[in-house]
A and B are shown apart, each in its own frame.
Chain A
Amino acid sequence: MNFKRDIPPGRSYAPNLAPMVDVVMVILVFFMLGARLAVEEGSLPTELPSQVGPGGGASVTIIPTIHIALLETEDGHGCQIFIMDTQLPDGSFATLRAILKKKQDEGANPDGRVLIEASPNVEYQHVISAMDACVGAGFANIQFSVGGDG
């Protein structure tokens, strides 16, 4: 293709910068907003026991490998963590995670059931943190006690 033919004689060819800057700016804004607006939302899956029927949610017996219990503290915001009925002294989920990780390293079955039992007044965030600790330590089969006894 001979581009030179389009250029009038005696004039030098100069690219038009204005539309280029225009488009580049729009693309820049597009990526900036696109990156900022990307909704970060993850998910933590769990399975309820499959043999439940109507009213059966509370009656299924689960024999867990690890049993975690969460109780609310008196101020209502914190929570006490019990693992296999032993209370964690510092009540931190990092410790829970470390303990679970240790169990995993000691040969605990990663497919073994981890049962999380939370009292009804515990903040939802703590329950998710406990689940997060389990998943982070490598346990995949996490179940919840949903019985009315709390």
Chain B
Amino acid sequence: MPDETPIRVNLAPVVDVTMSLLIFFLLSTRMVERESSTRIDLPVARSAQEKDRQDLGNRFVVNVRDAREDKKEGVEFIVEERAMSLNEVLNRLTEEKRIQPDVNCIIRADRTLPFEYVQQVMVGCGDIGVTKVTFSAVPRSSGADGL
């Protein structure tokens, strides 16, 4: 009869591989998220509160990007990764408002933009009847803000 060797599960490689996979997925999802967010240079506001996505309720995110960097005219409104005109944005918001009456319009705009573009979105929100508007901002600047 051969010697009975007890079977031992070596946990180290399991944890190793699991952690590697976890990091891989974490990084890849973050990359996707960052791709959509790095293009917007959010304004700095020290009192901006970090909130969980759930706390913001039904979100409708409007990105307003300064297109002047790309030598284009004016601004780009981006909703769900798609650039569209202000009218299209407001149509989408109207649709959203019909489905979710308490929709929260989150405006993420470049800090260098003239306020009028943000104002246009706000006037649109007012016309549609969306009363909750939230501005995204970063609690602190990575560079010197001087403000």
CA distance A119 to B119 in the complex (A): 10
CA distance A99 to B74 in the complex (A): 35
Chain A's closest residue to B125 (CB) is A48
Residue contact B118 to A124, C-beta cutoff 8 Å: yes
| 23 pairs, CB–CB < 8 Å, chain A vs chain B | A23-B12, A27-B19, A33-B26, A42-B45, A42-B48, A43-B49, A44-B47, A44-B48, A44-B49, A48-B122, A48-B132, A52-B129, A124-B112, A124-B118, A125-B44, A128-B44, A128-B45, A129-B45, A132-B44, A136-B46, A144-B119, A146-B123, A146-B126
CB within 8 Å for A132 and B109 given contacts A43-B134, A48-B126, A58-B123: no
Residue contact B139 to A48, C-beta cutoff 8 Å: no
Residue contact B131 to A43, C-beta cutoff 8 Å: no
Q: Which 7 pairs from chain A and chain B are nearest by CB?
A: A42-B48, A57-B126, A19-B12, A120-B116, A132-B45, A125-B111, A128-B43
Contact residue among A20, A41, A47, A52 (Cβ-Cβ distance under 8 Å from B42): A41
Q: B138 an interface residue at 8 Å Cβ cutoff?
A: yes
Whole-angstrom distance from the CB of B118 to the nearest CB of chain A? 6
Q: A56 an interface residue at 8 Å Cβ cutoff?
A: yes
Across-interface contacts of B22 in A (CB, < 8 A): 30
Contact residue among B43, B56, B111, B126 (Cβ-Cβ distance under 8 Å from A56): B126
Contact residue among A16, A41, A123 (Cβ-Cβ distance under 8 Å from B138): A41
CA distance A53 to B132 in the complex (A): 14
Main secondary structure of the interface of B (DSSP, over half): mixed
Q: B6 an interface residue at 8 Å Cβ cutoff?
A: yes
Chain B residues near A (Cβ < 8 Å): 6, 8, 10, 12-13, 15-16, 19-20, 22-23, 26-27, 30, 33-34, 37, 42-51, 56, 106, 109-119, 122-123, 125-140, 147
Whole-angstrom distance from the CB of A22 to the nearest CB of chain B? 6
Residue contact B49 to A42, C-beta cutoff 8 Å: yes
CB within 8 Å for A146 and B122 given contacts A44-B45, A122-B114: yes
Residue contact B135 to A46, C-beta cutoff 8 Å: yes
Residue contact A6 to B6, C-beta cutoff 8 Å: yes
Whole-angstrom distance from the CB of B84 to the nearest CB of chain A? 20
Across-interface contacts of B110 in A (CB, < 8 A): 124
